């Protein structure tokens, strides 16, 4: 039996993860993180989510605590998120939260409190190399719910102390198990949005924090097509809400915060042979230059083949430009090899 701290978000996945570990005989303690103190109607930061987690823990007869990391969350997640949009980049706050909060502050707290492992309800799997014992992060059993992409920033230190109990289950299996246990979260809707922004409220959230920076919307040749009120409303690849009517489908192909210029083009203008990156991380041994990898550029997007180099990827076939600030996750079959941030 080991002592396990379970991050309980108030959703069905972490509820079932807690129940499974308890039934396996582990000494389980639940914890919910208080991260965002402002308005929220989604994600894992609302008062109702904390209450759901507390009541599930009580039903399962496991201790439950709330850790307040809100000050660190503001400094580490919210402020950089705002700055990224002001700089014309498109951040992944949920991935940074995993890196800095859950497998940062929370994992450190778990170690300090003498826990043997940290568990979450993510749909991903951890296996171990039969010869070295090295932890291997893999895709979850349910392709439609696989969350390995958002965990690609984890390394051996984190993976060695991580349990993902629902990774071998489909979402239907999870809900069915919760229903059999009579858990209040069995039919609870999933949280899909950034937890510190209300649904549909991203522009208003940024407007309150980013000074207006109006500029031009131009085509690939530099011809002015219209005007915008700030680059914070645009991301590379966007094709709706472009502030101009061109009579044909256009996409954002570049956002230059320095000149407050947004460039539009057709889909061909988006295609690139390479993508540069920074901040590479690895789940195990570093990827060797020249190795072919599968690359996923969004949580549930398709994977595409590329050759990995120290600071960039070369696509096997041209791909739409990845928005600067987005996470690239690298795979070999279903195993996650690492991650990086597109520049």
Q: What is the pLDDT of residues 194-245, one digit of tens each?
A: 888 887 788 889 989 988 889 999 999 999 999 999 999 899 999 998 878 8
Coil, helix or strand at residue 329: strand
Q: Does residue 334 contact residue 138 with C-beta atoms inside 8 Å?
A: yes
Full-model pTM: 0.93
Is residue 44 part of the annotated active site? The answer reads: no
Distance CA 148, CA 142 (A): 11
Please tell us whether the domain made up of 212-265 is placed in CATH 2.30.30.100. no
Task: Output the DSSP codes for 46-77.
Answer: SHHHHHHHHHHHHHHT--EEEEE-HHHHIIII
Q: According to the model, what pLDDT value does residue 257 have?
A: 95
Distance CA 259, CA 247 (A): 26
Instruction: Catalytic residue, from 44, 45, 94, 97: name it.
Output: 97
Q: According to the model, what pLDDT value does residue 201 have?
A: 83
Q: According to the model, what pLDDT value does residue 142 have?
A: 96
User: Residue 209 has which token pair?
Assistant: 């924090």
Q: What CATH number is given for 3-121+165-181 in this structure?
A: 3.40.50.620
Is residue 195 part of the annotated active site? The answer reads: yes
Half-sphere exposure (Cβ direction) of 29: Cα atoms closer than 13 Å: 16
pLDDT greater than 60 at residue 42: no
pLDDT (tens digit per residue) in 86-137: 999 999 999 999 999 999 999 999 999 999 999 999 999 999 999 999 999 9
Distances from the Cα of 340 to the Cα of 40, 85, 316, angstroms:
29, 18, 18
pLDDT (tens digit per residue) in 279-317: 999 999 999 999 999 999 999 889 999 999 999 999 999
Q: Is 216 left (phi over 0), alpha (psi -120 to 50) or beta?
A: beta
pLDDT greater than 90 at residue 259: yes
Distance CA 234, CA 318 (A): 23
pLDDT greater than 70 at residue 168: yes
Mean pLDDT of 43-65: 89
Please tell us whether the domain made up of 272-342 is placed in CATH 2.40.30.10. yes
E strand spans, 132-235: 135-139, 162-163, 215-218, 224-228
Nearest to 231 by CA among 310, 324, 316, 297: 324
Residue in this structure with the two tokens 């919307």, named with its chain if needed: 217
Exposed/middle/buried for residue 248 (C-beta within 10 Å: 0-12, 13-18, 19+) = exposed
Domain ranges of the chain: 3-121+165-181, 212-265, 272-342
Distance CA 287, CA 289 (A): 7
């Amino acid at each position: 039996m080991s002592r396990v701290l379970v991050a309980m978000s108030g959703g069905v996945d972490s509820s079932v993860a807690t129940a499974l570990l308890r039934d396996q005989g582990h000494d389980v303690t639940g914890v919910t993180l208080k991260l965002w103190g402002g308005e929220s109607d989604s994600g894992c930061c609302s008062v109702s989510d904390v209450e759901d987690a507390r009541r599930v823990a009580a039903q399962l007869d496991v201790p439950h605590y709330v850790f307040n990391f809100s000050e660190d969350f503001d400094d580490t997640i919210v402020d950089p998120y705002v700055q990224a949009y002001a700089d014309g980049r498109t951040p992944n706050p949920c991935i940074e939260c995993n890196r800095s909060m859950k497998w940062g502050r929370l994992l450190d707290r778990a170690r300090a409190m003498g826990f043997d492992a940290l568990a979450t309800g993510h749909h991903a799997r951890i296996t171990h190399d039969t010869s070295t014992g090295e932890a291997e992060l893999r895709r979850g059993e349910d392709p439609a719910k696989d969350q390995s992409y958002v965990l690609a920033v984890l390394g051996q230190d984190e993976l060695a102390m991580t349990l993902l109990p629902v990774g071998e289950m489909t979402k239907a299996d999870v809900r069915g198990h919760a229903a059999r246990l009579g858990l209040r979260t069995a039919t609870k809707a999933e949280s899909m949005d950034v937890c510190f922004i209300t649904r549909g409220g991203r522009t208003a959230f940024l407007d309150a924090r980013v000074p207006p920076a109006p500029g031009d919307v131009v085509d690939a040749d530099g011809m002015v097509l219209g005007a915008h009120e700030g680059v914070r409303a645009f991301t590379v690849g966007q094709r709706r809400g472009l502030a101009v009517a061109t009579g044909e489908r256009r996409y954002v192909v570049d956002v230059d915060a320095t000149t407050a210029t947004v460039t539009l083009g057709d889909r061909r203008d988006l295609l690139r042979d390479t993508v540069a990156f920074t901040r590479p991380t690895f789940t195990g041994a570093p990827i060797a230059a020249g190795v072919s990898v599968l690359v996923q550029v969004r949580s549930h997007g398709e994977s595409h083949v590329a050759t990995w180099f120290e600071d960039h990827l070369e696509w096997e076939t041209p791909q739409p430009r990845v928005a600067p600030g987005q996470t690239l996750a690298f795979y070999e079959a279903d195993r996650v090899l690492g991650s990086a941030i597109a520049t």
